[in-house]
Amino acid sequence: MPEITIREFNPEMTDDTADVLARAFVVNPLNVAAFGVDQVSMNKAFFRGGLRVMRGRKLVALDGPHIVGFIHWVTSPRCQLPSLEKLAMLPRMIQEFGLQRSLRLSAWLTTWSKHDLKDPHCHLGPIGIDPAAQGRGIGQRLMGLYCEDLDRTTISGYLETDRPENVAFYQRFGFEMIKQVHVLGIPNFLMRRHPRR
């Protein structure tokens, strides 16, 4: 089995990365609430669009030539898209997902945006591992790189998760739950990590 390598994401990796993220997130409660059950193609379109607009650091985990993981983080206030950019995306969203799904997606992202930390932070998300590659420590390696960056820059980390089982995973890296909110009827756990000196 080849060793997992970590590389900077480049735009040529967009389709393969979106495919990995779609399969990783297709069963997440929020993704199901927004797009429906087993909507891999909808999730792929969502992540393909997201990868185009994400600012900040993007890394991929490779198993040989195959992308098996992805992580993204960005410092505030760049973690929030400007209002004009959001407005410009609406027609494309409606064309891609239809009106009802677009409204659900907009409600999801608006709620997260409303609860974003006001003080300086480094926002994590998404982080996803190909379901076929899970259990090999890839997520831990990617999280380790993110946390190293937090400690080096002495900035707080912040994330949202809609999976209760992920809370314990993030707690292992020093994250604490600061709030629980409901998005599309789904409990979401907002977590923060203070930098370690």
CATH number of the domain bearing residue 141:
3.40.630.30
Looking at per-residue confidence, does 2 or 72 come out higher? 72
Residue 75, CA atoms < 13 Å, CB-side half-sphere: 7
* Cβ atoms of residues 76 and 121 within 8 Å: yes
Tell me the whole-structure pTM to 2 decimals: 0.94
Number of domains in the chain: 1
pLDDT at 84 over 80: no
Specify the pLDDT at position 81.
67
pLDDT tens sequence across 90-136: 667 788 888 899 999 989 989 999 999 999 999 999 999 999 999 99
Query: Over the chain, what is the mean pLDDT?
Result: 93
Tokens describing residue 135: 């259990």
- Alpha helices per DSSP H over the chain: 14-25, 29-35, 40-53, 83-97, 99-114, 138-153, 164-171
Q: 83 is in which domain, residue-wise?
A: 4-193
The tokens describing 95, both together, are 């064309």
